[in-house]
Chain A
């Protein structure tokens, strides 16, 4: 009994300390509510300040969408795009985010033709992406618990019931493995995203990581690029159409 309690304590402590959050959840929810009211009243600057204060500690697709909306309303389209991309990363295939991103992209200067990419469609994307990053991790935990339960029941049974129990165990084990696989994929995708948005109004992309080298092409604020390498304040970026070049790291912000 004593052991169990200390284990539980340790678990909660691990979760708590792991988050290391100064602004607790009720505070964040209150700030969100205030910010939403300000946004509805048209005071977008105030709403943005409040949303930003929440975003120091917390994150979610809804929050990133809200910040993007504030920037959009304040006519800062590149930052709006940045936050919409962040929201989309947290919740792939979210329709509202996609619609707003599309509208924001119409206001940027650069048009980059994306290379055709294999895609199974929006609903698949949404299913795989889940509503947040941890969804598949949580699902894998539930499925694993279910697998263990099925296994125990099967061991207690005899005859036909045992066979049914064992096949259920097998199925849920397969599902667990799939969920773990997807969770690993999603976490890696979010953690190691290579996307970035150009925030400077106008930036020259050069052939080498130094000022004064040959300018390959120009990019304008709001364009999405992919980071390849980083070297002494310079980044090698790739456009969606495959073009490569170097630009100063301070001209971009990572999604």
Chain B
């Protein structure tokens, strides 16, 4: 009797079926091996997504908006993402077929006239069927409303909480009524109304923007607005829910003084787990988790926190979670994007020293 190798080389077809191959499969490097690449050939129409980037990446809300456009677009419709601000990440999993990046229009600068002129130029050139924008406070909600007001022939809906290929719905009359309408041309999406997970990957090719040269000429034009600069409120004065960088302590932190000086060095807000608060090391209003506060920081540095479910609930909206822990099997390690295993006190001391050196060298370079 001949034994058949149960692990014969096989590949998974686009339909998800496992097919045995007789020769060894060529190792194709695709960014998302489990997802079929959806290429749009001979696109006849466009859907346009406009969003600001933050620190070179798109936030969840912007990704949901691109995913929404990708779900609605059929095989002959191209999803064109117009990113205002620089972009350093790859958008193949987000659902964009083509990307235009306008790095000079980042959200930190207030230039509504220039932004409106640039996006109007893109809209004019591609004539999209629908325009999607996230309805957020980092500039897209404002820009979207300016666009709606300037293009009054286009139908529009704001704060859309539900939509599909045929309709949109939003809350009206102070959130007491749900109203429904046909799919308009300009759609400002509320957060979390779309699942950003897509079963396919897209090409996400960058194309050179033709509007850049055109808009830089406009820049000299005198404006009604004058930007006096973006400022950040000191980490100690800000509410924990609004903080962008949080350093959080758990049971593993023995020396609170070291911890506080690390937070000071990183210019971060201070949070704590329930155990640390119960021990009296921190005030009750610093507690993060189910019975404390829910935070949505860009960076969350968890020191000596094992990561109980209740605590992980409180940090579910955090973008980058870094953990310092002695136990490599703690639940926090599964949640964290980067985990360093070691003694918290020792690593905190070293971090403080390294930050001091880094700040000093930056000062010297600047001088």
The answer to whether A binds B is no
Residues of A bordering B, CB below 8 Å: none
